[in-house]
């Protein structure tokens, strides 16, 4: 009987110890998740990083010429040696193997305008450092529709040109304004939606152009247009409708959805064809705040993400990749005149075209993907 008593006591002690361990691990996980939830990636500063980028402009072969700044003769390289440091946490250096492991057997699609393409090409270059992508599909002017396969992890990455996300027509020689149907998504990517596991949407700047807007087959109004019988209504409300229509469409079937917020330009009040329109070589100090267009576009996106997430609840993984505030601090990261190859080889012209909107690759946009991998990691826990 005494022997059985000792066995019983040992069993009770073992159970007690296991309970203590489980409680400790639960608290550890809770503390870690709480720490992550408290970490605001949008608050921080750019700090010097001697390591520099993981790739160069000639190593991956997917960069659009206009963003391949060093190859086009940009003389300074200091813009490559900065890292975003949040106040409450650290963002690990991009780990391509980790990203591919997180996306194993999945299809990731970037949908949007040239900023979506900018982020997509950064990601392809980062992943190319460990696995060779196979370009399995391309179509459209300027390869606006492409698909890559990373056979090592059975990962597919696609990009779909859709500057409004919703259905519409882009202005052309016969049409001096854009046409948008804000109540339905663009069929080009909408028809492929069921093939995607994770979707990254990114638009904004095309909404500033003249356009006529339709909803349920009727004209809503227009922006900066001379169309007859059409009321000027601006574009902010239209942008909101387009984001809402898109998020509702993609946030189905437990799909993962990431909205990359509005990317600011840095023309600094100068015309796009003036010398020195964006010639900064270092980031702004921390005191630079969001205002005007940048602030309003981001606000609309954040509100729509919160609204759809609240409506869908646990049915969807939906998050904003909030890059607006961190990117407004990087006026040094644009191609400027180096959107063209060696723009000053024949001297300094009176006028020179500048790209103060897109980002050099490598460049600040690589940080967006460093933050995105942390979002995916949290979803996989």
Cα separation, 322 vs 251, whole angstroms:
18
Task: Assess contact for 76 and 281: CB atoms under 8 A.
Answer: yes
| Distance between CA atoms of residues 219 and 251, nearest Å | 27
- The phi and psi torsions of 135 (rounded to 5 degrees) equal -75, 105
Strand 218-223 relative to strand 211-215, pairing: antiparallel
Pick the catalytic residue: 113, 322, 332, 355? Answer: 355
How far, in Å, CA of 123 to CA of 120, rounded? 5
Specify whether 114 is catalytic.
yes
State the greatest distance between any 2 C-alpha atoms of the chain, in Å, as a whole number.
102
Q: How far apart are CA 222 and CA 272, in angstroms?
A: 25
- Residue 358 falls in the annotated catalytic set: yes
Give the tokens for residue 378.
């949290």
How long, in residues, is the chain? Answer: 381
The token pair at 40 is: 């605001």
Active-site residue, from 114, 122, 162, 202: 114
**Of 107, 177, 205, 358, catalytic:** 358
Sheet with 166-169: list strands edge to edge: 166-169, 178-185, 211-215, 218-223
Q: Annotated catalytic sites, by residue? A: 114, 355, 358
């Amino acid at each position: 009987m005494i022997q059985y008593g000792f066995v019983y006591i040992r069993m009770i002690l073992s159970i007690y110890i296991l309970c203590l361990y489980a409680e400790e691990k639960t608290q550890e996980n809770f503390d870690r998740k709480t720490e992550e939830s408290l970490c605001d990636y949008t608050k921080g500063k750019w700090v010097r990083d001697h390591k520099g980028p993981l790739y160069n402009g000639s190593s991956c072969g997917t960069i659009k010429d206009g963003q391949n700044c060093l190859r086009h003769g940009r003389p300074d390289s200091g813009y490559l040696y900065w890292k975003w440091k949040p106040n409450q946490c650290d963002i690990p250096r991009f780990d391509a193997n980790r990203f591919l492991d997180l996306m194993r057997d999945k299809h990731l699609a970037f949908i949007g305008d040239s900023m979506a393409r900018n982020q997509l090409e950064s990601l392809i270059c980062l992943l190319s450092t460990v696995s060779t992508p196979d370009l399995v599909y391309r179509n459209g002017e300027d390869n606006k529709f492409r698909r890559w396969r990373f056979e090592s992890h059975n990962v597919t990455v696609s990009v779909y040109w859709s500057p409004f996300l919703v259905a519409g027509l882009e202005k052309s020689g016969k049409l001096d304004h854009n046409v948008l149907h804000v109540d339905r998504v663009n069929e080009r990517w909408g028809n492929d939606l069921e093939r995607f596991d994770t979707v990254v949407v990114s638009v904004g700047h095309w909404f500033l152009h003249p356009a006529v807007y339709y909803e349920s087959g009727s004209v809503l109004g227009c922006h900066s247009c001379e169309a007859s019988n059409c009321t000027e209504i601006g574009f902010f409300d239209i942008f909101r409708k387009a984001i809402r229509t898109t998020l509702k469409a993609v946030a189905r079937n437990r799909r993962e959805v990431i909205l990359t917020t509005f990317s600011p330009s840095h023309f600094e009040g100068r015309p796009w064809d003036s010398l020195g329109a964006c010639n900064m070589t270092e980031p702004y100090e921390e005191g630079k705040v969001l205002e005007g267009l940048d602030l309003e576009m981001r606000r609309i996106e954040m509100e729509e993400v919160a609204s759809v997430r609240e409506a869908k609840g646990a049915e969807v993984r939906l998050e904003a990749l909030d890059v607006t505030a961190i990117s407004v601090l990087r006026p040094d990261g644009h191609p400027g005149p180096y959107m063209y190859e060696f723009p000053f080889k024949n001297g300094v012209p009176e006028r020179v075209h500048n790209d103060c909107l897109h980002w050099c690759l490598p460049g600040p946009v690589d940080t967006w993907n460093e933050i995105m991998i942390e979002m995916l990691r949290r979803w996989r826990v």
